[in-house]
C-alpha cells in the first residue's frame, strides 16, 4: 500500500475508533479528496494567497467557488464539488442545531445563533430572526444580499416576513465581510427606521446585531436601541 494511501486509511481508522475530531484538517481534506498531496497543497495555497494567520480551512469557508478551488489545489470539478458539499453540509448542520434549541436571551445568544451563518460570507447579507412570545426562534429569513460593503434593505420587506409568520417580535442582523462589526452611519439609520416601524406595527425590534469575524456589535448591548 502506498504511503499516502496508508495515511488516509490510518486517519479513517482514527475516525472510527476515536472520532472525527481527532483527525487533522489536512487529513479530513485528504479523506474527501483521496489525496494527501492535494489536501496539503490546497491548505498551503490558501494560507499563502490570503496572507492570514488563520487556519487554511477558515479561508476555504470564505472562498467557496469552483474555479478558485480548482486553481488553488489543482482539483477536478468532482473534487471541488465534494469540498463545497462538505462545507455547506457543515453550515446546515450548525444552523439546524441552533434553531432546534435556540432561545434568544441576550445579544450574545443572538450572535451565537448567527455567527456561523454569516461570518464567512464574502458579501453583506441581511437577515431577520422571527421570534415568538417566549423569544424562541420561529425562523431565520434572509432579506437582502449586497456587495462587499452594503446591502439595500427596506423595512417593509423585514416586517412583511414578521407579519406572515405571526412573529411577536424580531431581531435583525447582517455581516461585515471586512471582519470589523462596528456599524456604519447607514446601519444606524436603518436601525432607527426599523425600531420606529416595529413600534407602529406592534412587532418590537429587539436588537440589530452586526456580525464580524468572530466578533459582533449589538445595538441593544451598547444602549443604542
Q: Do 107 and 212 belong together in one domain?
A: yes
In a domain, 165, yes or no: yes
CATH of the domain at 181: 3.40.140.10
CA distance 130 to 10: 46
In a domain, 180, yes or no: yes
Q: Do 109 and 214 belong together in one domain?
A: yes
Q: Do 113 and 194 belong together in one domain?
A: yes
Q: Do 194 and 166 belong together in one domain?
A: yes
CA distance 207 to 221: 8
Q: Which domain holds residue 184?
A: 103-218
Q: Which residues contact residue 83 at a Cβ distance below 8 angstroms, ignoring those fewer than 6 apart?
A: 29, 32, 33, 60, 69, 75
CB 46 within 8 A of CB 56: yes
Helix H or strand E segment including 151:
none
Q: What is the pLDDT of residues 189-212, one digit of tens each?
A: 999 999 999 999 999 999 999 999
Q: Do 30 and 133 belong together in one domain?
A: no
Q: Do 108 and 213 belong together in one domain?
A: yes
In a domain, 225, yes or no: no
Q: Do 209 and 109 belong together in one domain?
A: yes
Q: What is the pLDDT of residues 136-157, one digit of tens each?
A: 888 899 998 876 666 778 899 9
The number of distinct structural domains making up the chain is 2
SS (H, E, C) 68-88: HHHHHHCCCHHHHHHHHHHHH
Which among 1-10, 63-72, 127-136 has the top mean pLDDT?
A: 127-136
Any idea which residue has 487556519 for its cell? 55
The residue among 93, 126, 155 that closes a domain is 93
CA distance 88 to 75: 18
Tell me the whole-structure pTM to 2 decimals.
Answer: 0.60
Helix H or strand E segment including 137:
strand 137-145
Please tell me which residue, 161 or 54, carries the higher pLDDT value. 161
Q: Do 169 and 124 belong together in one domain?
A: yes
Longest dimension (CA), the chain: 71
In a domain, 38, yes or no: yes
Residue 52 DSSP symbol = -
User: In this structure, are strands 205-211 and 137-145 parallel, antiparallel, or unpaired?
Assistant: unpaired
In a domain, 194, yes or no: yes
CA distance 171 to 160: 14
The residue among 36, 59, 93 that closes a domain is 93
- Confidence band (pLDDT; 50, 70, 90) for 172? very high
For range 170-182, the mean pLDDT: 94
Q: Do 128 and 205 belong together in one domain?
A: yes
In a domain, 98, yes or no: no
Q: Do 123 and 84 belong together in one domain?
A: no
The residue among 75, 93, 111 that closes a domain is 93
CA-closest candidate to residue 182, choices 142, 213, 154? 213
Amino acid at each position: 500500500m502506498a504511503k499516502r494511501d496508508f495515511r488516509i486509511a490510518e486517519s479513517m481508522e482514527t475516525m472510527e475508533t476515536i472520532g472525527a475530531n481527532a483527525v487533522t484538517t489536512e487529513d479530513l481534506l485528504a479523506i474527501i479528496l483521496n489525496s494527501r498531496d492535494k489536501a496539503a497543497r490546497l491548505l498551503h495555497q490558501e494560507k499563502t494567497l490570503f496572507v492570514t494567520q488563520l487556519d487554511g480551512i477558515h479561508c476555504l469557508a470564505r472562498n467557496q467557488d469552483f474555479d478558485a478551488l480548482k486553481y488553488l489545489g489543482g482539483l477536478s470539478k468532482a473534487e471541488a464539488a465534494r469540498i463545497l458539499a462538505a462545507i455547506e453540509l457543515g453550515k446546515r448542520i450548525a444552523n439546524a442545531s441552533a434553531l432546534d434549541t435556540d432561545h434568544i436571551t441576550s445579544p450574545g445568544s443572538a450572535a451565537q445563533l448567527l455567527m456561523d451563518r454569516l461570518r464567512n460570507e464574502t458579501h453583506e447579507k441581511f437577515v431577520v430572526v422571527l421570534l415568538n412570545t417566549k423569544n424562541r426562534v420561529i425562523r431565520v429569513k434572509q432579506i437582502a444580499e449586497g456587495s462587499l460593503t452594503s446591502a439595500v434593505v427596506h423595512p417593509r420587506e423585514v416586517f412583511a416576513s414578521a407579519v406572515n409568520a405571526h412573529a411577536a417580535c424580531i431581531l435583525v442582523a447582517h455581516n461585515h465581510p471586512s471582519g470589523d462589526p462596528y456599524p456604519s452611519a447607514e446601519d444606524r439609520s436603518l436601525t432607527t427606521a426599523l425600531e420606529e416601524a416595529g413600534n407602529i406595527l406592534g412587532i418590537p425590534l429587539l436588537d440589530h446585531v452586526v456580525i464580524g469575524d468572530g466578533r459582533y456589535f449589538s445595538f441593544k448591548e451598547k444602549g443604542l436601541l
